[in-house]
């Protein structure tokens, strides 16, 4: 759930825990929800257990130095400590560090680390653990994969004693207290466990259970692409918050939105993300609390405008015609973002402009009226006409220089309903301006692997961010390009210009808030003009939980527009409280008939398919 | 004493049929037998209705009606006068989608079946004719494919081959030719034991000649029945694979309609018109092929036909 600067599954309206899509798993889970299956590993009867759904992106790896999927980052926020916490108001507070001071030149930060805290294996947590973690990321290229950009301005990190951590920066750093926060910052790992894994860091999966850590929860097990099971750390204290109120926590990955809703309705999970249509239906259910949160991420169309490695070597199989800024600009003019907002999100979101989402209004940026790109196919056509691309007999434009057609691949997430829906619109709009699109429906992992090797023309992608934009801005810098082998990169769309990089370095060291906002606005302007990422929309977070199974799950009063602040799993699961009474009877709700019909229909299709495929192989035996 | 002549036998044949060329006579006999089976007629009518709808669809469904960027209906709305079967999540008419979807579903079903029958028929014929090592080897390969679980294999294949109609066709063909192969082999063995094959061999006919000129015609009726039954299953397999998200999302087929319906939360919303329409279409077409295939089987198989 929620705050994190991470590539997330864009299946929903730009939302972290959106669960849509149909896949075998999803279909079977619908069947399970209709009564054929059981959930994973329920706790002992006397224990209280909270079962929630995982972010649809799932977990790429439990190694926090490499991971950037939301499912994994949420996990790290629960099981590893960080220097600072991020308060519900979005302001950094104490966590491992109970206090901090800065030198007069703003170059030296001295953190006082809490005394007496212990890792889950009994070893003491000291400043040395934090120093070791930061130093590894600063010196080891592999360890820097996920979060290297956050420590780029660090000069040195030392731990003179067990409770003192000294961070020296090259220049004053504006976002120091956001560098190590739960979920979207750097998690601190136990040195005594991880120092043995530096050599094999690239392949180390961190799957020895229970995972040694410190946080509100302790990870007991993770079944790949199925569920995680945590137990509460009863010794956990943070400010006025005590230990988690539930004894165990199960985070379950459901790949289908209707499966999630079915699981929610019959009480298998207590909380899930939904799409706009489901939200409106569930809002009417008195057992459900439906919460609409302001969007903390974007869903966008990425364009490969000429991928290069760190050394400037061309990489991948991207179509060179997209290197023409006019083609990219025409694509932007051809997209009706308002229509997407209506059709895909049911209006629950904001039309995309700037690179940073509306959850953090201080960073929000809109193009000047003269620069604003709106839906105007005539203008898109005239841009392409002026650039010399003439339409062939089939209506597809041809590049006069190479004789090649404007024919591009569009990679979408095969398990994402919203990607599938958006791709149909893109295909229609781009055909109207003489660009043909071939849709490559790829698995989440395959799409990201193609992305890093630059084997793509256009991609659907989505990211969310925490309140400090440094990380999200960093994935557009030259420093995140891969090396010549295609590895050690975390670039978003292979964007790289010195101008942007200069501003990026500048905003990190600009302490004056107003000044920093100006620089970040300039950076968003550059990205907007570059059209490497066409931001389509920022989807609201649509979260529904069962108020008879859990209370206090979501925090923050709604704003005047009825939107709640973006949520963090760190606080949600910590604050979540079991209901006083025994849990309610399984749900029987208004559209239960629909569920049954749907579940039966899925089963019939699947079974019939399997039966038929099977039948043919045995038909000779039956004569 | 005069030996009975062949002329006498000929004289016993009914005069009417002797007049028509034997081929048309067989066809007429077949038609008469088929018309006596009401279930076969029902199946044929269902198939014809879908085939005609699919063929003439372009005359009354404009591409703009299926273009999401131009759809103007309410989103996932129940049936109304303008949209007799409601709308999908983009405001397109579900009626138009289901008619248009018949084109993809029938096309993939028929082409996949042709491939299935070609692969299965060839292997069955060769394996039945060359009964030595070649036949044994081919049957071992067939057995190997039979024990492979079809659905996971088809899913794996369409992932490897990339998404789209062609890979689904190949996936269906590769996972379902084994039945036809065993069926054809069994029949080839039976035909091969008949005296006229031995006679042909004695007269110096080559193996390919015997297979193509003598065995194949005797096996063809069986292949015809088996392929008509296979089309129904291929359509269902196509729907299954597309439903599982292995198709091209911009191609309208019944499986992809079900896929979108589920993915978009039609179950939660209670959009029965969106879920049931493609489901019933699949049901009717598969039933049509099954009824037709069974009827033909009954007419062609002497053990099943009432010859009175």
Query: Cα(A449)–Cα(A456) distance, rounded to whole angstroms?
Result: 10
The Cα of A207 is separated from the nearest Cα of chain B by a number of Å equal to 27
Averaged pLDDT, A108-113? 95
> Given A256, A277, A620, which is nearest B262 (Cβ)?
A256
Contacts B185 to A, Cβ<8 Å? 620
Domains in chain B: how many in total? 1
CB atoms B75 and A610 under 8 Å: no
Which residues have CB under 8 Å from A595's CB, separation 6+?
Answer: A33, A34, A258, A262, A265, B267, B268
Kindly state whether residue B19 falls inside one of the protein's structural domains: no
What is residue B7's predicted lDDT score, i.e. its pLDDT? 44
> Given A256, A257, A612, which is nearest B237 (Cβ)?
A612
Tokens describing residue A493: 């769309």
A459 forms beta bridges with A302, A411
What is residue A27's predicted lDDT score, i.e. its pLDDT? 39
Under 8 Å between Cβ of A386 and A397:
no
Question: Does A7 have pLDDT greater than 60?
Answer: no
The Cα of B181 is separated from the nearest Cα of chain A by a number of Å equal to 9
> Given A22, A274, A421, which is nearest B89 (Cβ)?
A421
End-to-end CA, chain B: 36
Question: Does A134 have pLDDT greater than 50?
Answer: yes
Kindly state whether residue B69 falls inside one of the protein's structural domains: no
Helix (H, G, I), strand (E, B) or coil at A81: coil
Which residues have CB under 8 Å from A532's CB, separation 6+?
Answer: A302, A303, A305, A328, A476, A492, A493, A494, A495
Q: Please report the ipTM that was assigned to this predicted complex.
A: 0.78
Cα angle vertex A78, ends A73, A83, to 5°?
A: 85
What is residue A38's predicted lDDT score, i.e. its pLDDT? 40
The Cα of B107 is separated from the nearest Cα of chain A by a number of Å equal to 18
> Given B175, B186, B237, which is nearest A620 (Cβ)?
B186
Provide the CATH number for the domain around residue B283.
1.10.3720.10
Contacts B182 to A, Cβ<8 Å? 619-621
The beta-strand segments (E) located in A385-508 are 390-391, 397-398, 407-413, 436-442, 458-464
With CA atoms as reference, report the closest residue to B253 among B109, B94, B105. Answer: B105
More confidently predicted of A41 and A137: A137
Averaged pLDDT, A76-81? 95
CB atoms B269 and A610 under 8 Å: no
The Cα of B101 is separated from the nearest Cα of chain A by a number of Å equal to 16
CA dihedral A184, A185, A188, A193 (to 10 degrees): 60
Relative to beta strand A248-252, strand A49-53 is: parallel
Under 8 Å between Cβ of A267 and A549:
yes
> Given A421, A595, A613, which is nearest B237 (Cβ)?
A613
A349 forms beta bridges with A539
Give the tens place of pLDDT for each residue, A479-533: 888 888 777 778 889 999 999 999 999 998 888 889 999 999 999 999 999 999 9
What is residue A40's predicted lDDT score, i.e. its pLDDT? 46
Among B63, B66, B69, the strongest candidate for a mutation testing the A interface, having the largest count of A CBs within 10 A, is B69
Q: Give percent of chain A above pLDDT 90.
A: 55
- Based on the number of CB atoms within 10 Å of its own CB, is B161 exposed (0-12), middle (13-18) or buried (19 or more)? middle
Kindly state whether residue B21 falls inside one of the protein's structural domains: no
Query: Cα(A371)–Cα(A24) distance, rounded to whole angstroms?
Result: 45
A231 forms beta bridges with A218, A248
Average per-residue pLDDT in chain A?
A: 84
Q: How confident is the model at residue A601 (pLDDT cuts 50, 70, 90)?
A: low
Q: What pTM does this model have?
A: 0.80
How far from the centroid of its chain's Cα atoms is residue A438's Cα? 26
Query: Cα(A396)–Cα(A389) distance, rounded to whole angstroms?
Result: 9
What is the residue-level pLDDT of chain B in tens, covering all 308 positions?
Answer: 444 444 444 444 454 445 567 778 878 888 888 888 899 999 999 999 999 999 999 999 988 888 888 888 888 899 998 899 999 999 999 999 999 999 999 999 999 999 999 999 999 999 998 888 999 999 999 999 988 888 888 888 877 887 778 888 988 898 889 989 999 999 999 988 889 888 988 998 888 888 888 888 888 888 888 888 889 889 998 888 888 877 777 789 999 899 889 888 888 888 999 999 999 999 999 999 999 998 988 888 766 545 43
Peptide bond into A210 cis (omega under 30): yes
Kindly state whether residue B209 falls inside one of the protein's structural domains: yes
Kindly state whether residue B153 falls inside one of the protein's structural domains: yes
- CB count in 10 Å sphere of residue A400: 11
Give the tens place of pLDDT for each residue, A458-486: 999 999 888 889 989 999 999 888 888 77
Cα angle vertex A170, ends A168, A171, to 5°?
A: 105
Tokens describing residue B227: 């392929």
CB atoms B270 and A591 under 8 Å: yes
What is residue A587's predicted lDDT score, i.e. its pLDDT? 39
Contacts A263 to B, Cβ<8 Å? none
Under 8 Å between Cβ of A531 and A325:
yes
Kindly state whether residue B167 falls inside one of the protein's structural domains: yes
Among B262, B287, B294, B304, the strongest candidate for a mutation testing the A interface, having the largest count of A CBs within 10 A, is B262
CB atoms A22 and B243 under 8 Å: yes
Contacts A274 to B, Cβ<8 Å? 265, 268
> Given B233, B250, B267, which is nearest A427 (Cβ)?
B250
Identify the sign of the CA torsion A265, A270, A272, A277: positive
With CA atoms as reference, report the closest residue to A87 among A486, A567, A605, A620. Answer: A567
Kindly state whether residue B24 falls inside one of the protein's structural domains: no
Under 8 Å between Cβ of A486 and A494:
no
Count of helix runs (H) and strand runs (E) in chain B: 15, 0
Domain span at B279: 30-60+74-300
Kindly state whether residue B1 falls inside one of the protein's structural domains: no
Contacts B231 to A, Cβ<8 Å? none
A441 forms beta bridges with A412
The Cα of B26 is separated from the nearest Cα of chain A by a number of Å equal to 24
Give the tens place of pLDDT for each residue, A323-347: 999 999 999 999 999 999 999 999 9
More confidently predicted of A586 and B103: B103
Which of the residue ranges A88-97, A487-496, A552-561 would you say has the lowest mean pLDDT? A552-561
Query: Cα(A543)–Cα(A9) distance, rounded to whole angstroms?
Result: 16
- Based on the number of CB atoms within 10 Å of its own CB, is B8 exposed (0-12), middle (13-18) or buried (19 or more)? exposed
The Cα of B67 is separated from the nearest Cα of chain A by a number of Å equal to 7
Question: Does A19 have pLDDT greater than 50?
Answer: no
């Amino acid at each position: 759930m929620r705050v994190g600067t991470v590539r997330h599954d864009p299946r929903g309206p730009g939302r972290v825990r959106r669960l849509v899509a149909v896949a075998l798993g999803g279909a079977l889970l619908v069947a399970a929800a209709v009564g054929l299956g059981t959930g994973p590993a329920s706790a002992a009867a006397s224990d209280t257990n909270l079962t929630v759904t995982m972010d649809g992106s799932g977990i790429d790896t439990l190694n926090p130095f490499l991971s950037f999927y939301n499912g994994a980052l949420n996990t790290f926020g629960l099981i590893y400590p960080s220097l600072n916490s991020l308060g519900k108001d979005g302001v950094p507070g104490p966590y491992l560090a109970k206090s901090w001071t800065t030198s007069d030149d703003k170059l030296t930060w001295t953190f006082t680390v809490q005394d007496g805290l212990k890792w889950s294996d009994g070893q003491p947590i000291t400043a040395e653990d934090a120093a070791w973690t930061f130093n590894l990321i600063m010196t080891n290229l592999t360890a820097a994969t996920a979060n290297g950009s956050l420590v780029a301005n660090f000069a040195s990190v030392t731990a003179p004693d067990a409770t003192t951590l000294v961070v020296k920066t090259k220049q004053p750093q504006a976002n120091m207290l956001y560098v190590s926060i739960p979920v979207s910052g750097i998690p601190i790992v136990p040195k005594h466990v991880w120092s043995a894994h530096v050599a094999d860091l690239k392949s180390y999966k961190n799957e020895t259970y229970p995972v040694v850590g410190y946080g509100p929860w302790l990870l007991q097990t993770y079944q790949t692409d199925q569920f995680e099971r945590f137990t509460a750390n009863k010794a956990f204290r943070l400010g006025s918050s005590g230990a988690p109120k539930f004894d165990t926590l199960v985070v379950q990955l459901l790949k289908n939105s209707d499966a999630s809703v079915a699981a929610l309705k019959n009480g298998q999970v207590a909380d899930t993300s939904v799409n706009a249509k489901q939200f409106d239906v569930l809002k009417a259910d008195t057992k459900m609390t439906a919460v609409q949160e302001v969007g903390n991420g974007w869903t966008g169309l990425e364009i490969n405008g000429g991928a290069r490695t760190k050394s400037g070597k061309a990489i991948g199989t991207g179509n060179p015609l997209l290197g023409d800024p006019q083609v990219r600009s025409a694509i932007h003019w051809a997209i009706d973002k308002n229509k997407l907002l209506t059709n895909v999100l049911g209006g629950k979101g904001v039309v995309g402009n700037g690179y940073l989402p509306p959850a953090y209004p201080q960073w929000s940026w809109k193009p000047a009226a003269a620069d604003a790109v709106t839906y105007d196919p005539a203008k898109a056509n005239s841009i392409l006409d002026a650039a010399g691309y003439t339409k062939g007999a089939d209506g597809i434009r041809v590049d006069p220089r190479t004789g090649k057609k404007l024919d591009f691949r569009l990679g979408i997430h095969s398990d994402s309903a919203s990607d599938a829906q958006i791709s149909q619109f893109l295909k229609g709009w781009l055909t109207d301006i003489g660009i043909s699109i071939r849709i490559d429906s790829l698995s989440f992992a395959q799409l990201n692997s193609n992305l890093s090797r630059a084997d793509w023309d256009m991609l659907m992608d989505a990211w969310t961010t925490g309140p400090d934009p440094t990380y999200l801005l960093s994935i557009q810098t030259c420093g995140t390009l891969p090396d010549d082998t295609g590895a050690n990169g975390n670039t978003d769309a292979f964007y790289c210009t010195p101008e942007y990089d200069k501003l990026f370095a500048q905003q990190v060291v600009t302490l004056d808030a107003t000044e920093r906002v100006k620089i970040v606005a300039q950076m968003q302007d550059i990205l907007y003009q570059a059209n490497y990422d066409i931001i389509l929309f920022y989807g609201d977070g649509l979260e529904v939980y069962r108020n008879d199974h859990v209370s206090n799950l979501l925090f923050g009063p709604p704003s005047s527009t009825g939107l709640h602040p973006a949520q963090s799993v760190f606080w949600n699961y910590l604050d979540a409280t079991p209901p006083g009474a025994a849990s309610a009877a399984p749900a029987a709700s208004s559209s239960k008939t629909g569920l049954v019909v749907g579940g039966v229909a899925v089963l019939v299709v699947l079974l019939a398919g399997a039966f038929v495929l099977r039948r043919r192989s045995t038909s000779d035996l039956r004569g | 004493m005069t030996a009975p002549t062949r002329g006498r036998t000929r004289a016993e044949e009914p005069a009417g049929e002797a007049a028509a060329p034997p081929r048309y006579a067989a066809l007429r006999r077949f038609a008469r037998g088929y018309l006596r089976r009401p279930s076969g007629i029902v199946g044929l009518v269902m198939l014809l209705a879908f085939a005609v709808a699919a063929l003439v669809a372009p005359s009354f469904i404009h591409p703009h009606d299926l273009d999401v960027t131009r759809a103007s209906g309410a989103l996932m709305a129940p049936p109304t006068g303008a949209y007799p079967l409601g709308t999908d999540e983009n405001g397109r008419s579900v009626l138009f989608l289901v008619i248009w979807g018949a084109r993809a579903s029938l096309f993939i079903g028929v082409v996949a079946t042709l491939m299935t029958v070609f692969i299965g028929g060839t292997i069955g014929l060769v394996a039945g004719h060359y009964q030595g090592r070649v036949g044994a080897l081919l049957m071992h390969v067939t057995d190997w494919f039979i024990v492979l679980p079809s659905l996971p294999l088809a899913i794996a294949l369409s992932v490897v081959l990339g998404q789209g109609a062609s890979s689904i066709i190949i996936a269906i063909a590769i996972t379902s030719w084994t039945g036809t192969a065993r069926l054809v082999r069994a029949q080839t063995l039976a035909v091969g034991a008949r005296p006229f094959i031995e006679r042909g061999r004695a007269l110096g006919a080559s193996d390919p000649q015997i297979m193509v000129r003598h065995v194949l015609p005797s096996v063809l009726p069986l292949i015809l029945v088996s392929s008509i039954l296979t089309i129904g299953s291929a359509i269902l397999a196509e729907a299954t694979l597309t439903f599982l998200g292995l198709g091209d999302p911009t191609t309208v087929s019944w499986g992809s309609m079900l896929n979108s319906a589920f993915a978009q939360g039609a179950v939660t919303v209670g959009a029965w018109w969106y879920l049931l329409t493609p489901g019933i279409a699949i049901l009717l077409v598969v039933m049509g092929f099954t009824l037709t295939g069974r009827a033909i089987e009954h007419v062609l198989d002497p053990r099943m036909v009432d010859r009175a």
